[in-house]
A = this chain, B = another copy of it.
Amino acid sequence: MNTDFQLYLQTQKERIETVLSTLLTSKSARTDGLYAAMNYSLLAGGKRIRPILLLAALEVLGRPSSDYLSVGCAVECVHTYSLIHDDLPCMDNDDYRRGKLTCHKQFTPAIATLAGDALLTVAFELIATAPQLRPELRLELVRILAQAAGPDGMVGGQYIDVCASRENNTPESLQYMDAKKTGCLLTAPLVMAGVIAETDDAHMSALVQYGEAIGLLFQIVDDLLDEKGTLAEMGKQQGQDRKMGKATYVTLLGRDEAYRRAETQALRAQAILTAAGWGHTVLSQFPEYLLTRVK
């Protein structure tokens, strides 16, 4: 991977994590433990890919990304809540996430449930109170985030995943689930950047299509990594999905064909950017990065 882009990602991640680290502070000793659980998961690392996509798209659209860090943090709060609930014993029952105990193992399932609920709620408060944005734009961001995270978006995808362990067995049905479970919340920050920059319909459409392509790419690579990854590399146990009996792109298509499909999405993402006049911007570095990531 391009060293400049590696540095770019690292710098953006640090900008986001600096804000995240002081974002949530308990206002009473009696809720300290709740905030501890929220911060435990929110500050457990991760690529911060969703807020970085927001910042990158804002920069491409000519907006000062530093004004909208809290909007990026809101998206990260929603992502973190979804991981906490996804890991619960009644869901995927995972003990490790990013090399650390999952929230319910470190605390309890009850506290993890509430910490997830609280992070989701706080996300909307963050957007409602985001500075530097006209009320109608903030409201549009609330709507986009709610739709991306809700029953026709991410939660809908999680529901399909919960129900479909062994029957969700065509690449098409898997792609439908992933578009909701993973794609919606990867596309949302790009669309949110478009709203903030008040971009035109054609460019908004390019952002949506680009988001869909890298969302699918992201999920295929996740499945490839889940097969070969180690706990040390991935921060979770390998082969978890296969163990759960869930279909993945790898079990349905084989490693080679799965990788080929990921490559196709990377090329598609690139073509969308080129057509939008963004072929040589920072956004054009993400497909290659997502294709070659090792965790």
Binding site for B on A (CB under 8 A): 24, 26-28, 30-31, 33-35, 38, 81, 85, 88-91, 108-111, 113-114, 116-118, 120-122, 124-125, 127-129, 134-136, 138-140, 142-143, 145-147, 149-152, 155-156, 158-160, 162-163, 176-177
Contact = CB atoms under 8 A, between A and B. Distances in A.
Contact of A111 (B81, B122, B162): B162
B146 A125 contact: yes
Contacts of A113: 85, 88, 90-91, 113
Nearest to A116: B117
Question: Which 4 interchain pairs have the tightest Cβ spacing?
Answer: A90-B109, A125-B146, A118-B151, A121-B150
A39 to B, nearest CB: 11
Contacts of A143: 125, 128-129
Most B Cβ at <10 Å: residue of A26, A38, A111, A118: A118
A122 B143 CA distance: 9
A150 B114 CA distance: 10
B151 A31 contact: yes
A103 to B, nearest CB: 12
In the complex this chain forms, how many copies of it are found? 2
Contact of A128 (B91, B117, B139): B139
29 contacts: A26-B151, A28-B152, A30-B156, A31-B152, A31-B160, A34-B151, A35-B151, A38-B151, A85-B117, A88-B110, A88-B113, A89-B90, A90-B108, A91-B110, A91-B113, A111-B159, A114-B155, A118-B156, A120-B120, A121-B146, A121-B155, A122-B146, A124-B142, A124-B146, A128-B139, A135-B136, A135-B138, A135-B139, A138-B139
Nearest to A151: B118
Contacts of A24: 151
Given A120-B120, A136-B135, A151-B118, A163 B33 contact: yes
Nearest to A108: B90
A180 to B, nearest CB: 8
A121 B38 contact: no
A27 B152 contact: yes
Given A31-B159, A90-B108, 6 more contacts: A24-B151, A91-B110, A118-B150, A120-B121, A121-B150, A142-B142
A128 B114 contact: no
A122 B110 contact: no
A265 to B, nearest CB: 22
A125 B162 CA distance: 24
A125 B111 contact: no
A36 to B, nearest CB: 10
